[in-house]
Amino acid sequence: MTKKFETMLLHSVKKSDKPIKSKVTPIYQTSAFTFADLDELEGYYQGEGNYLYSRTGNPNPDELGKAVAAIEGAPEGIATSSGLSAILAGVLAAVKSGDHIVAADDLYGGSFHLLKAELHDLGIETTFVSFLDLSLVEKAIQPNTKLLYTESITNPFLRVEDLESVVALAKKYDLMTLVDNTFATPYHSNPYLLGVDMVVHSATKYIGGHSDVTSGVLVGREDLLTKARAKVVNLGANVSPFEAWLTCRGLKTLALRMKSQSYNARKLAEALRENKYISKAYYPFQEAEEGYGAMVTIELGQQVDVNQFFKSLSWVKIAPTLAGVETTVSHPLKTSHRALPKEAQEALGITNNVIRISVGIEHADDIIQVFEEAIRNSLS
């Protein structure tokens, strides 16, 4: 039987065949696993056992990796300590010192810094170009280019990537592809099924969903995930058992949360784009009538005092992250994209008036009201 998305979320892990058949996977909060004798220990190294030391493997991270892989339609998945560590593992599975990456120029600021600065120090160069025009991407490809990197929905301006065309270009030049699917989630997009080689999630966000965990997940081709797993183990980028367990618990309600939050986000975006004090409201309106993702980005008009706007948001919290069940706001210029060079910020349009809204599961009318009141209370 082919399971629907909502069913797969709950039943991607097989029933336990252990003597104690817990309905929920227990938390294996242990640093190491024990052996009856030296023969059993040697058996582990010969591939006859699963676990030795929690950095190299643990049932809870394994469950998380397998569960996200299942709902992405990928054959393999691994859990990591954060979204950035998952990105790093994926990149290092595809490239080495002396190789070159072509990446979208409108990425999350942390990803931009990782590719531009940290990987540069490892001898890996990245060229950032607009993926709006794939002829620019093609021109940026060099003889040593190995990887194309982008996001399915970009941060913060919510551009929906044309993944089929990106994959076609990559195949033309025998390149690998890595896509960050954090904003879309598997509820809205499955890049692996479109031909992408590896898909990454900051599971801290919608996969976990409750702002109480930090973790990442990388899924994709088995050969690449084997390399990525070795990087996670040897660089110490593993996620703890408890963090993985919490993320798995959150994953089970992903469909319910995304349905509600995406609906609310579309309603908020529709209301704010009609507000004369909003210069622009960014949302993927054309993708789905019921909403496509739970993020809305707005650019406040010049009549609105930005500082006063943040002070006037009543119950909406200011946070440097996103995707919890509560509606929050962030200021990309001073948080997520702070590390970008000024010229990059200006080129992308990340100004002091740009506000990123992570829409929660509250009633849509209440969300709209709090933002409209904050705008009215901030007019200069």
pLDDT by residue (tens digit) across 247-262?
999 999 999 999 999 9
Give yes or no: residues 124 and 205 share one domain. Answer: yes
pLDDT digits (tens, 9 = 90+) for 264-310: 999 999 999 999 999 999 999 999 999 999 999 999 999 999 999 99
Give yes or no: residues 319 and 367 share one domain. Answer: yes
Please report, for the domain that includes residue 62, its CATH number.
3.40.640.10
Range of the domain at 276: 254-376
Q: What is the mean pLDDT of residues 147-174?
A: 98
Give yes or no: residues 350 and 221 share one domain. Answer: no
Give the residue carrying structure tokens 């309603």: 267
Give yes or no: residues 32 and 124 share one domain. Answer: yes
Per-residue pLDDT band for 369 (boundaries 50, 70, 90) equals very high
CB 69 within 8 A of CB 219: yes
Give yes or no: residues 342 and 246 share one domain. Answer: no
How much of the chain exceeds pLDDT 90, in percent?
A: 89
Token pair of 210 as six digits: 């409750």
Give yes or no: residues 259 and 297 share one domain. Answer: yes
Give yes or no: residues 222 and 307 share one domain. Answer: no
Position 10 scores a pLDDT of 86
* Domain limit, last residue, from 196, 230, 251: 251
Give yes or no: residues 233 and 297 share one domain. Answer: no
- How many domains, in total, are found in the chain? 2
Position 336 scores a pLDDT of 87
Whether pTM exceeds 0.85? yes
Please report, for the domain that includes residue 326, its CATH number.
3.90.1150.10
Q: What is the mean pLDDT of residues 233-246?
A: 98
Per-residue pLDDT band for 375 (boundaries 50, 70, 90) equals very high
Measure CA of the first residue to CA of the last residue in the chain; give whole Å: 60
Give yes or no: residues 297 and 247 share one domain. Answer: no
Across all residues in the chain, what is the average pLDDT? Answer: 95
Beta carbons within 8 Å of 122's beta carbon, 6+ residues apart: 97
CB atoms within 10 A of CB 371: 25
Per-residue pLDDT band for 15 (boundaries 50, 70, 90) equals low
Give yes or no: residues 263 and 245 share one domain. Answer: no
CB 153 within 8 A of CB 124: no
* Domain limit, last residue, from 219, 251, 283: 251
* Domain limit, last residue, from 251, 285, 307: 251
Give yes or no: residues 34 and 181 share one domain. Answer: yes
Position 49 scores a pLDDT of 84
Give yes or no: residues 140 and 278 share one domain. Answer: no
pLDDT digits (tens, 9 = 90+) for 34-71: 999 999 999 999 998 889 999 999 999 999 999 999 99
pLDDT digits (tens, 9 = 90+) for 111-120: 999 999 999 9
